[in-house]
Amino acid sequence: MALPPLVPAQTAPAVPGARMWGGRFSSGPAPEMDRLNRSLPVDRRLWRQDVAGSRAWAAALGAAGVIDLTEAADLRAGLDAVEKKLEGWTDADWAAAADEDIHTLVERLLGETAGPVAGKLHTGRSRNDQVATDFRLWALDAAKLLDAELRDLQAALVEQAHKHGDTVMPAYTHMQRAQPVSAAHWLMSHAWPLARDRERLADAVDRVSVLPLGSGAIAGCPFPVDRVLLKESLGFRAVSRNSVDAVADRDWVAELLFVMSMAGVHLSRLAEDLILFASSEFGFVRLSDQFSTGSSLMPQKRNPDAMELARGKAGRLIGELTGMLALLKGLPSGYNKDLQEDKSSLFAAFDALSDVLPAVAGTVRTMEFDAARCAGAVDSAMLATDVADFLVRRGVPFREAHGAVGKLVRAAEGLGCPLSALPRELFVQVSGEFADADLDAMFDAKASVQARAAAGGTSSASVQAQLAELTATL
């Protein structure tokens, strides 16, 4: 006796009209196959791009004489109507649609609007080059939005930097206090990585902006469509050179995922700094109520959840990148259905960054520095390099100066006092050059900051140059 199924069988909804590929099959797919194969819940967000690509293809078919100009005009008018209809669709409408994918849906709606001429739209075109075109068009729009959001975070960092050129704080190496810098300099240390992210994004867009349409399923289009005209009408920068490569190429997806992952890493590092600096142990910054949360149990808590979520999302972004690389590594040439998974990865990464970037920008824009707390964290031991530099300016070799000041640091630790509180006699013991030195001036943190005047340093002049250069890119 046959055992009942562990999970009740689900009946797949009937797809209105014929499938694009149904002619050689005697029956439709099994419900299990339909659930696995159906991509409309994911690729529905490509509907605008699918309509735009179809409109351009109809025009190209008409211009090539494959269909007459009246038919081309009817197709374009029908696609305009489909676009208007889909603009009004709700989530309920999308849930009710039983089509296999967005391409099937648009073609079905076109048939309902334009009639039998809709069957001519797919002439010379495959879903392989169609989806590759739609996806690239979507990515070009997404890249513009991401660039704007990265730019806004840069702008927030620049705004804060303009306010805090005179705020002195510790800089850290190995999570140990190292040397004093201005808060503006620290802020700019997070703005420059974002500039690189934007540069990488712009560079990647060059490779995204390549038109696959006209490549057919794998061998190219048998009709004399003008692919250069298609490129111009859809806003691409170049035409794909090889039809086999064009339908399979997802290098650009991996490249965008790398750019997004790298941006996520930069956001995570900024978030980590702010999580530490906002803690009571540091107290350098106070995050606004708008970008903090509380505890369900402890009334006193102020949690930097926006920053913790930014830090956490970076792991998700890296996961999307590694997943895409793993997906691509074993594929044979040409289109393979594995590539249906590319969209969910890029969509998820885009959504994650689109959520995180505005929240991080808002956190930065509304946070407040505690200048006194920052300055209070700068102890005289952090100026040990300045003491060594004093000796260097007196002609002492740096290695000798480094050793001499190291002895002073050890003495201060032994006496349990700040480096600046050691008696002059101890300074003179390690080097006679200290005999006439102005020790008080040597332990001035603001003077130390201004001394780092080389390009890229923390002095006011250097930071202003950084601000001017970065502002120009905004």
What is residue 467's three-state secondary structure?
Answer: helix
Contact 335, 243 (CB under 8 A): no
Separation of CA 287 from chain center: 23
The catalytic position among 26, 174, 280, 296 is 174
Report the distance separating Cα 426 and Cα 431, nearest Å.
9
Do the Cβ atoms of 194 and 223 come closer than 8 Å?
no
Which class for 213: exposed (0-12), middle (13-18), buried (19 or more C-beta within 10 A)? buried
Task: State the angle between helix axes of 384-393 and 398-415 in degrees (0 to 180), rounded to the nearest 10.
Answer: 140
Residue with token string 């006193």 = 300
174 is catalytic: yes
The answer to whether the beta carbons of residues 40 and 105 sit under 8 Å apart is yes
Output phi, psi for 435, to 5 deg.
Answer: -60, -40
Beta strands in 46-191 (DSSP E): 168-173, 176-182
Given a contact cutoff of 8 angstroms between Cβ atoms, the answer to whether 46 and 94 are in contact is no
Find the helix or strand (DSSP H, E) in which 239 lies. strand 238-239
Catalytic residue chosen out of the listed positions 279, 288, 295, 354: 295
List the catalytic residues: 174, 295
